[in-house]
Amino acid sequence: MASSHHASSRKYIALSALALLFGLLIGVVIGYFAFSRGTETVTVPSCGDACQEPDPDIFNKLVNEMKASNIGDYLRKLTSVPHLAGTPMDLENAEYVRDEWIKYGLDSAKIYSYDVLLSYPDSNEHNLVQLLDEHGNINFTCAIEEQGLRDDEKVENIVNPFNAYSGTGNITGDLVYVNYARVEDFDELEEYYPDLNLTGKIFIARYGKIFRGNKALHSEQRGAIGLIIYSDPADYASDDATDVYPDAWWLPGTGAQRGNLHVSDHKGDPLTPGYPAKDYAYRSQVEDAPLPNIPVHPIGYDDAKMFLRELSGDIVPSGWAGDLGVTYRIGPGFNNANRKVNMDIHTRNEQRMTHNVIGFIEGAVEPDRYIILGNHRDAWVFGGVDPSSGTAGMMELTRAFGKLLKEGWRPRRSLVFGSWGAEEYGLIGSTEWVEEFVQNLAARTVAYLNVDIATSGDFTFVAKSTPLLYEAIYSATKKVTSPEDSSKSVYDVWLERYPPDSGDLPPISSLGSGSDFAPFTYRIGVPAADLRYRHNPGLGISSYPVYHSVYETYYLVEAFIDPEFNRNLAVTSVWGELARDLADSIIIPFNCKDYAEQIQLAVEDLKSKFESEMRNEGIHFDAVDSAAANFTSAATSFHQRIASMELNDAMKIRRINDQLMSVERAFIDPLGLPSRRFLRHVLFAPSVTNYYAGSAFPGIQDAMYKINENLDQWDTVKQQMAVIAFCIQSAASTMMDVVL
Ligand SMILES: *[C@@H]1O[C@H](CO)[C@@H](O)[C@H](O)[C@H]1NC(C)=O
Ligand SMILES: *[C@@H]1O[C@H](CO)[C@@H](O)[C@H](O)[C@H]1NC(C)=O
Ligand SMILES: *[C@@H]1O[C@H](CO)[C@@H](O)[C@H](O)[C@H]1NC(C)=O
Ligand SMILES: *[C@@H]1O[C@H](CO)[C@@H](O)[C@H](O)[C@H]1NC(C)=O
Ligand SMILES: [Zn+2]
């Protein structure tokens, strides 16, 4: 037995050795042919999790977890006290958000703090705007505080209306009415009243149409010594003067819009452009910061009427009169020429800490790819609409994602949540964070999804975004039930209420600026979107009426905007699904063909504006046209390649996704726009005359604007035409196959 056992085992060893040898040989042969005959015959390594389709039921689980009433509860908590940036509530709220996120089960939540230049009224000396009579005595002083709050809203630490970063000073002069203080308003003044000398005057402008910082800049450039900005009833109230908060959502007569005046290409901390405001940062002198030198202050329409009814001079051009019930005149000065306006402004700049909270859900397959969801936390006062409606949605969304994590779900890519500080002062928290982590964020961020205000009205969902995200936004809105009609989707009602001028999709506007997506898109080329529910544009008002006033309360939202918080829930659901889709889909759901179409439209638009003027200078569109055509065909074949691809090779999937991520980044010119070096996206930027609005091909538009102001910029136009042709071609090349 023993010997036979020996013999058989020896035979076994010999056989095994032979088999092993044979196997090795086969392997070598296969390897040889595989290498010699190209990659097709290589057996694809097992793909495992990397090729796993997302859980088809995950959208329902996420949406079913979220409750409108929870959003209401968060909003009540967040709006219970003022939470202005740089005050103790900035840190207290940051700690609250961090602690909640840890409790919900996010993988981490940390506070990132920055030491930045902010601005506040002086607590001892009120800012005064006054009418002085012919003897230099005070005839009338504008309200210091807004009136008419409900009893439970009369709390401490309400900052009086002011404009952050205003210049200080005590000035007296004659008043001139300048409408919205847009460039075209000043052009009109010059045309109709060539003898009007604006130098040394105090301007009064109404709020609306453009960013207030541009109003201050335009005024200072035209020689104003001070600027008063007020909210005209035509732009912020109803026809019935008594129909105001707390009886309606309209702005009361003492309501004034707070807001910052920081106009520059970098935004963020005014003293540390380009770099994070760490303790070791190099800080420029405050005098050199891009802030106004003249005093600027906001007032309500009751007070504005006291000035405007006494103005002398010509009656205003058509379109300039508001609804104050007085005859609007230009000035300068009053009917009694010895009466003057005085502004005694003590608003001061101060270095203080502001805080971001960053929450993190680590992706299971591609943890180094980030989908970032952001909302700012700081408010001028209670922030009922701006930004706490967004914060309330974000809290409920993070809670729901935490719940899914506890149930075993994990996204393919990482989800990052940013709760930003000091957005109201000029996108400060988000910009400093992007500056601190610029390398990682530029390389790893798939998309940035912003909700600043979740609900500013009850009319319809709207979105702004870069073109790569259009399709994903439509797809998310088709999945979420409309808060108005449960038989319809958010998409259906959006399309009904916002019919497109052409085509059959609800319009998505370009980003412009005015919120925290700006540093992501314009600095590092990250595709971004901004979502909200808004009021009916047919109302013809500039924004929701009580914007940045003390009346942005919980009561306002509950009584007039979103009584059941289901509009907020709809926006939050779209936000969550869009993020989940971007995080979970094997192939990132970007559509480059939509980008191609937008480029073609933008080129046509540029031609219709400037082509003949440019032709006279020998500038033509050949290269731009050629690059745009190349981009279009590259996008078409890229998407064909993606559609026909088998999702069984992890490396190949990653390769395609890396290409998808490169497209937007190719529009970043490392040198920046001419004279706006921190804005580096050559296709889109905030407009130079209105930071809120978007401008296509900003390098060209800026230069053409200067040419219209009689500056010689034709070389810049030539250079920028070449830059955009290059960047579009470069973007096209990112979509082509890997062989250069
Ligand atoms: C202010 O001036 C108006 C005239 O425009 C006059 O009727 C009013 O009494 C004055 N008020 C004071 C407090 O001087
Ligand atoms: C500001 O200027 C006005 C008008 O010249 C003057 O009456 C007032 O006393 C000044 N205020 C201060 C605090 O100096
Ligand atoms: C305009 O007013 C300023 C300030 O009073 C004065 O210095 C300047 O000479 C005036 N310009 C003209 C053209 O009158
Ligand atoms: C567009 O593609 C064609 C063909 O590859 C190439 O010859 C042309 O130079 C490209 N256009 C630009 C602006 O690079
Ligand atoms: Zn906001």
Residue 45, pLDDT score:
67
Instruction: Tell me which amino acid residue 129 is.
Output: V
High-pLDDT (> 90) share of the chain, %: 86
For the chain, the maximum distance between any two Cα atoms, rounded to a whole number of angstroms, is: 131
Q: What is the pTM of this model?
A: 0.92
What is the bridge-based pairing of β-strands 413-420 and 366-376?
parallel
| Digit-coded pLDDT (tens) for 506-543 | 999 999 878 999 999 999 999 999 999 999 998 888 79
As a whole number of angstroms, the distance between CA 71 and CA 379 comes to 18
Q: What is the mean pLDDT of residues 478-489?
A: 97
Give, using CA atoms, the residue closest to atom 12 of ligand 3.
Answer: 197
As a whole number of angstroms, the distance between CA 331 and CA 314 comes to 7
Give, using CA atoms, the residue closest to atom 2 of ligand 4.
Answer: 630
Q: Is 200 in the pocket of ligand 3 (CB under 6 A)?
A: yes
Residue 711, pLDDT score:
87
DSSP annotation of 489: B
Alpha carbons within 13 angstroms on the beta-carbon side of residue 740 total 1
Q: Give me the phi and psi of 274, to 5 degrees please.
A: 90, -20
Residue 41, pLDDT score:
56
Q: 293 pLDDT exceeds 60? A: yes
As a whole number of angstroms, the distance between CA 436 and CA 431 comes to 9
Q: 26 pLDDT exceeds 60? A: no
| Digit-coded pLDDT (tens) for 572-613 | 999 999 999 999 999 999 999 999 999 999 999 999 999 999
Q: Is 481 in the pocket of ligand 4 (CB under 6 A)?
A: no
* Domains detected in the chain: 60-119+350-584 (3.40.630.10), 122-346 (3.50.30.30), 592-734 (1.20.930.40)
Residue 44, pLDDT score:
61
Q: 340 pLDDT exceeds 50? A: yes
As a whole number of angstroms, the distance between CA 277 and CA 419 comes to 17
Give, using CA atoms, the residue closest to atom 14 of ligand 1.
Answer: 139
Q: Is 440 in the pocket of ligand 3 (CB under 6 A)?
A: no
Q: Is 172 in the pocket of ligand 1 (CB under 6 A)?
A: no
| Digit-coded pLDDT (tens) for 648-662 | 999 999 999 999 999
| Digit-coded pLDDT (tens) for 250-286 | 999 999 999 999 988 888 999 999 999 999 999 999 9
Is residue 240 very low, low, confident or very high in pLDDT (cuts 50, 70, 90)?
Answer: confident
Give, using CA atoms, the residue closest to atom 3 of ligand 1.
Answer: 139
Q: Give me ligand 1 centre to Cα 307, in Å.
A: 12
Ligand number nearest CA of 627 is 4
Q: Which residues line ligand 2 (CB under 6 A)?
A: 170, 172, 342, 344
Residue 43, pLDDT score:
65
Q: Give me ligand 5 centre to Cα 360, in Å.
A: 23
Q: Is 431 in the pocket of ligand 4 (CB under 6 A)?
A: no
As a whole number of angstroms, the distance between CA 627 and CA 625 comes to 5
As a whole number of angstroms, the distance between CA 496 and CA 90 comes to 40
Residue 1, pLDDT score:
36
Q: Give me ligand 5 centre to Cα 411, in Å.
A: 28
Angle at 698 between CA 697 and CA 703, to 5 degrees: 110
Q: Is 139 in the pocket of ligand 1 (CB under 6 A)?
A: yes
Q: 666 pLDDT exceeds 70? A: yes
Q: What is the mean pLDDT of residues 541-565?
A: 96
Residue 583, pLDDT score:
98
| Digit-coded pLDDT (tens) for 69-82 | 999 999 999 999 99
Output the six-digit token pair for 123: 């607590």
Q: Give me the phi and psi of 534, to 5 degrees please.
A: -130, 175
Q: Give me ligand 4 centre to Cα 667, in Å.
A: 17
| Digit-coded pLDDT (tens) for 672-681 | 999 899 999 9
Give, using CA atoms, the residue closest to atom 6 of ligand 1.
Answer: 139
Instruction: Please count the helices (runs of H) and the strands (runs of E) in the chain.
Output: 22, 19
Q: To test ligand 1's pocket by mutation, which of 131, 134, 139 has the most ligand atoms within 8 angstroms of CB?
A: 139
Q: What is the mean pLDDT of residues 404-408?
A: 97
Is residue 496 very low, low, confident or very high in pLDDT (cuts 50, 70, 90)?
Answer: very high
Q: 42 pLDDT exceeds 70? A: no
Q: To test ligand 3's pocket by mutation, which of 197, 202, 203, 225 has the most ligand atoms within 8 angstroms of CB?
A: 197
As a whole number of angstroms, the distance between CA 628 and CA 634 comes to 10
Give, using CA atoms, the residue closest to atom 1 of ligand 1.
Answer: 139
Highest mean pLDDT among 20-24, 266-270, 287-291, 463-467: 463-467
High-pLDDT (> 70) share of the chain, %: 93
Q: Give me ligand 2 centre to Cα 344, in Å.
A: 7
Q: Mean pLDDT lowest for which of 215-219, 224-228, 288-292, 459-463? A: 288-292
Give, using CA atoms, the residue closest to atom 4 of ligand 1.
Answer: 139
| Digit-coded pLDDT (tens) for 421-461 | 999 999 999 999 999 999 999 999 999 999 999 999 999 99
Angle at 274 between CA 592 and CA 218, to 5 degrees: 90
For every residue of 424-481, DSSP letters joined together read TTTSHHHHHHHHHTHHHHHHHEEEEEE-S-SBS-SSEEEEEE-GGGHHHHHHHHHHSB
Q: Are 114 and 276 in contact (CB under 8 A)?
A: yes
Q: 639 pLDDT exceeds 50? A: yes
Give, using CA atoms, the residue closest to atom 5 of ligand 1.
Answer: 310
